[in-house]
């Protein structure tokens, strides 16, 4: 079923919800150099501040405080941040909500208030409790701020990030090293295309690289103007902090010492005039232990249990289908079966009134540690090509490929015709299971997550089990295949000296996660991949109706923006945005380094190649390959020459144009159609993949001028 159709059928009930306006009634880094000049003349609106009276000099000299109107709504809510008026939780992400906690790896813990995070149409707020396990923010987080009618002219966009590192940039993003040294972080900006009102649009400042773990960041905005050319002034709350007049705003009095030390101090040391600032704040990212500690422990426990007692988890084949050459010229056998592994999830019912809906969450003991709660039986599909039957070819021995399926699909997708020919041509035996958490059987639960995002743990918790299931199946196949009776009795010889991974779409996204975690596969291929779900969801045509429904549930685009960044905090444990760093550059403990070939498609309707360009800019050994595109270069990224031993990204161009910049799906191409499914059906693509599998080299099979088969 097409992804668009799935979401439309799933979310149709949401379309009847009134989308009423709930607006308020009241990596690649350079040395830190930035010009501090600024015009901070009076503002006529844009940040909610009353600027009719000077709030005082930055030296703290005594002046009368500017009068403030009575506080209402978010401005009077102690759970909200008063520094920016776009949303209670803006500016996002902020250390306002990080409390000291010596038990975490970063020494911090997220502590959102009961009403900080968005509420839905039933006035149910996103519960802060699940996020209190986090010791920082996502390594893929955008900055979310609001300035009414903001003019973004001259700011970096997704096609050219160079302006983000300019000395006179209006937005400054710094990484703070442990010794206090600042370095610039590249980014691009976009006003929320989902909001038709220029006065209400959220500004996304998206990192141009994957952020580092357990790291302190400082951001600053200055010299901003609205679309009429008028300067935008600081909010009253931020002006009080900036100008040392905390006596003028009791909402920020307790934050002055932190801002002086962690925000204004570093910025002034970098030569940035404190008086020029319209808004500045800081945040810390999550630690690797916090994001990945649980899934690594589950992986190690499951693989150890398989090694200790292989019979307990042995593959069981329940059905074998043989094909005549007339029925299928490429495939000899399909096999279906099951395998049994420890189960780390348990059922949890969420109630809405008297109605209960049940999903799955990770099972925790009294000490909040994730522990197994029994076993789970998972399906397995195996596809054997005719070329793997009989005497093996010594030049190309039969090898195993673990396949990752698409969004809300199943492992049965290995039976698609595009796999038949590549399996036959390259002597590859494909096998798969389903991504528990984002598999076909999880599809219906997504309906209830849209109504109430407190249920989002159903997806993110169960998906950790799903990743572990994949790792377990890989170990079982690699160790058992050479003596597997359904193979040996049918004259199928398997060389398990090497095993590979190939995934498409969702399998390309989660495939990078798999490749960072596997101890059984050295080289993998991720087709039409991406990373950072909440970054590319807006850019995917598969989720149009999802966003209609989500806005219906959350009522405003800025609620949606904050909600997506919130749930990403849970998603980071399995989202490849947090795992790409660990594929080659920084392998996990007890895990070998891996290499991965990525093959995005230009103009992809469903998964934007833009997110793979972020990977290429990050200094983790995953570049784009030479002749990436003949229409544009990737800003701040260096192309690697062919042949390359190591990871890399090859862009496949079937004639589609690059989408217009912004957080929206690509325009429909009536001539070329959606390229999402095309690379995997192209012989040279598959030959390049197999060459990479068997030699570790990325070779140019496209003629030296980029891969555009049309």
Confidence of residue 16 (pLDDT cuts 50, 70, 90): very low
Confidence of residue 527 (pLDDT cuts 50, 70, 90): very high
Q: Is 188 a residue whose pLDDT tops 60? A: yes
Stretch 506-514: mean pLDDT: 97
The CATH-assigned architecture of domain 315-340+374-529+571-698 is: 3-Layer(aba) Sandwich (3.40)
Average pLDDT of the chain to the nearest whole number: 90
Confirm if 362 and 370 have CB atoms less than 8 A apart: yes
Lowest mean pLDDT among 355-364, 520-529, 650-659, 670-679: 355-364
What is residue 335's predicted lDDT score, i.e. its pLDDT? 98
Q: Is 7 a residue whose pLDDT tops 60? A: no
Stretch 333-347: mean pLDDT: 96
Stretch 503-514: mean pLDDT: 97
Strands 182-184 and 171-176: antiparallel
What distance in Å separates the CA atoms of residue 685 and residue 268, rounded to the nearest whole number? 51
Confirm if 27 and 622 have CB atoms less than 8 A apart: no
Stretch 97-114: mean pLDDT: 97
Percent over 70 (pLDDT), the chain: 90
Lowest mean pLDDT among 61-65, 220-224, 435-439, 454-458: 61-65
Q: Tell me the two tokens of residue 362.
A: 């990770």
Q: Is 691 a residue whose pLDDT tops 80? A: yes
Nearest CA-CA partner of 431 in 486, 509, 391: 486
Q: Which residues, in sequence order, are CB contacts of 507 under 8 Å at separation 6+?
A: 403, 404, 405, 406, 435, 526, 527
Stretch 652-675: mean pLDDT: 95
Confidence of residue 426 (pLDDT cuts 50, 70, 90): very high
- Beta-strand runs (E) in 253-398: 277-284, 316-322, 331-342, 345-352, 355-362, 375-385
What distance in Å separates the CA atoms of residue 463 and residue 438, rounded to the nearest whole number? 7
State phi, psi for 349 to the nearest 5 degrees.
-100, 130
Q: Is 53 a residue whose pLDDT tops 70? A: no
As beta bridge partners, residue 150 has 226
What is residue 313's predicted lDDT score, i.e. its pLDDT? 85
State phi, psi for 147 to the nearest 5 degrees.
-135, 120
What is residue 62's predicted lDDT score, i.e. its pLDDT? 52
Using DSSP, state whether 56 is helix, strand or coil: coil
Q: How far is CA 147 from the centre of its chain?
A: 26
Confirm if 596 and 524 have CB atoms less than 8 A apart: yes
List the chain domain ranges.
3-26+28-58+77-286, 315-340+374-529+571-698
What distance in Å separates the CA atoms of residue 643 and residue 663, rounded to the nearest whole number? 35
Q: Is 432 a residue whose pLDDT tops 80? A: yes
* Sign of the dihedral through C-alpha 159, 162, 164, 170: negative
Strands 639-640 and 644-645: unpaired
Using DSSP, state whether 328 is helix, strand or coil: coil
CB-based burial label for 43 (10 Å; 0-12, 13-18, 19+): buried
What is residue 175's predicted lDDT score, i.e. its pLDDT? 98
Assign 3-state DSSP to the chain and report helix, strand, coil percentages, each to 5.
30, 20, 50
Q: Tell me the two tokens of residue 388.
A: 């793997």
Condensed to tens digits (0 to 9), the pLDDT of residues 442-472 reads: 887 777 788 899 999 999 999 999 999 999 9
Confirm if 279 and 267 have CB atoms less than 8 A apart: no
Q: Is 48 a residue whose pLDDT tops 80? A: no
What is residue 39's predicted lDDT score, i.e. its pLDDT? 41
Between 698 and 48, whose confidence is greater?
Answer: 698
Between 210 and 2, whose confidence is greater?
Answer: 210
Q: Is 26 a residue whose pLDDT tops 80? A: no
What is residue 358's predicted lDDT score, i.e. its pLDDT? 84
Confidence of residue 63 (pLDDT cuts 50, 70, 90): low
Q: Is 519 a residue whose pLDDT tops 70? A: yes
Q: What is the pTM of this model?
A: 0.91
What is residue 243's predicted lDDT score, i.e. its pLDDT? 94
Lowest mean pLDDT among 127-136, 160-169, 249-258, 422-431: 249-258
Q: What is the DSSP letter of 235?
A: P
Nearest CA-CA partner of 308 in 317, 296, 300: 300
Lowest mean pLDDT among 46-50, 427-431, 446-450, 507-511: 46-50
Confirm if 313 and 328 have CB atoms less than 8 A apart: no
Condensed to tens digits (0 to 9), the pLDDT of residues 222-260 reads: 999 999 999 999 999 999 999 999 888 889 989 999 999
Nearest CA-CA partner of 607 in 545, 670, 660, 533: 533
Condensed to tens digits (0 to 9), the pLDDT of residues 577-621 reads: 999 999 999 999 999 999 999 999 999 999 999 999 999 999 999
**H/E element holding 689?**
helix 683-695
What is residue 68's predicted lDDT score, i.e. its pLDDT? 67
Q: Is 673 a residue whose pLDDT tops 80? A: yes
């Amino acid at each position: 079923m097409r992804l668009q159709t799935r979401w439309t059928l799933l979310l149709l009930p949401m379309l009847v919800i009134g989308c009423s306006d709930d607006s308020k009634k009241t990596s690649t880094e350079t040395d830190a150099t930035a010009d501090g000049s600024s015009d901070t003349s009076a503002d006529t609106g844009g940040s909610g501040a009353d600027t009719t009276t000077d709030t005082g000099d930055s030296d703290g000299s005594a002046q009368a405080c500017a009068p403030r109107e009575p506080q209402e709504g978010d401005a009077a809510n102690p759970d909200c941040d008063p520094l920016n008026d776009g949303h209670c939780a803006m500016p996002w992400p902020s250390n306002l909500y990080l409390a000291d906690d010596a038990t975490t790896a970063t020494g911090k813990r997220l502590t959102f208030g009961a009403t900080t995070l968005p509420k839905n149409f039933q006035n149910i707020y996103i519960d802060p409790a699940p996020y209190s396990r986090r010791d920082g923010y996502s390594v893929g987080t955008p900055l979310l701020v609001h300035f009414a009618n903001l003019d973004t002219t001259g700011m970096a966009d997704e096609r050219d990030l160079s302006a983000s590192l300019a000395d006179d940039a209006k937005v400054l993003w710094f990484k703070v090293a442990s010794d206090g040294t600042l370095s610039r972080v590249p980014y691009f900006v976009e006003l929320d295309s989902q909001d038709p009102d220029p006065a209400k649009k959220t500004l996304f400042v998206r990192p141009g690289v994957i952020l580092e773990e357990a790291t302190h960041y400082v951001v600053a905005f200055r010299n901003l103007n609205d679309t009429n050319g008028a300067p935008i002034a600081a909010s009253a709350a931020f002006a009080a902090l900036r100008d040392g007049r905390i006596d003028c705003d009791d909402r920020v009095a307790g934050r002055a010492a932190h801002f002086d030390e962690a925000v204004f101090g570093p910025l002034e040391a970098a030569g940035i005039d404190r008086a020029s600032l319209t808004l500045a704040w800081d945040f810390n990212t999550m630690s690797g232990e916090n994001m990945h500690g649980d899934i690594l422990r589950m992986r190690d426990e499951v693989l150890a249990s398989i090694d200790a007692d292989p019979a307990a988890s042995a593959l069981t084949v329940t059905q074998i289908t043989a094909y005549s050459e007339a029925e299928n010229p490429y495939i000899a056998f399909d096999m279906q079966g099951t395998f049994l592994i420890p189960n780390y999830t348990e059922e949890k019912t969420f109630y809405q009134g008297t109605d209960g809906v049940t999903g799955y969450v990770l099972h925790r003991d009294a000490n909040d540690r994730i522990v197994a709660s029994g076993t789970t039986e998972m399906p397995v599909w195996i596809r054997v090509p005719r070329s793997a039957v009989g005497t093996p070819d010594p030049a190309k021995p039969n090898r195993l490929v673990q396949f990752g399926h698409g969004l809300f699909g199943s492992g049965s997708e290995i039976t698609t015709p595009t796999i038949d020919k590549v399996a036959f041509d390259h002597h590859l035996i494909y096998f798969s299971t389903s991504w528990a958490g984002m598999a076909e059987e999880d599809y219906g639960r997504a309906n209830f997550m849209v109504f109430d995002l407190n249920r989002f743990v159903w997806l993110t918790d169960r998906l950790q089990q799903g990743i572990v299931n994949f790792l377990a199946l890989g170990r079982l196949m690699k160790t058992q295949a050479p003596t597997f009776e359904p193979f040996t009795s049918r004259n199928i010889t398997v060389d398990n000296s090497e095993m590979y991974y190939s995934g498409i779409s969702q399998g390309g996204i989660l495939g990078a996660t798999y490749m960072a975690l596997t101890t059984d596969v050295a080289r993998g291929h991720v087709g039409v991949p991406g990373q950072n779900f909440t970054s590319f969801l807006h850019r995917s045509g598969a989720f149009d109706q999802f966003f209609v429904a989500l806005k219906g549930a959350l009522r405003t685009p800025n609620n949606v923006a904050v909600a997506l960044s919130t749930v990403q905090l849970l998603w980071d444990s399995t989202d490849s945005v947090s795992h790409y760093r660990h594929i080659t550059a920084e392998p996990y403990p007890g895990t070998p380094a891996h290499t991965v070939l990525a093959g995005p498609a230009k103009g992809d309707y469903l998964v934007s190649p833009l997110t793979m360009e972020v990977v290429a800019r990050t200094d983790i050994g995953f570049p784009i390959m030479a002749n990436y595109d003949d229409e544009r270069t990737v800003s701040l990224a260096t192309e690697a020459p062919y042949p390359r031993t190591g990871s890399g990204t090859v862009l496949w161009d079937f004639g589609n144009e690059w989408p217009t910049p912004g957080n929206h799906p690509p325009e429909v191409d009536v001539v070329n159609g959606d390229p999402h499914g095309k690379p995997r059906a192209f012989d040279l693509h598959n030959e390049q993949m197999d060459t990479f599998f068997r030699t570790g080299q990325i070779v140019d099979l496209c003629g030296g001028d980029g891969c555009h088969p049309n």
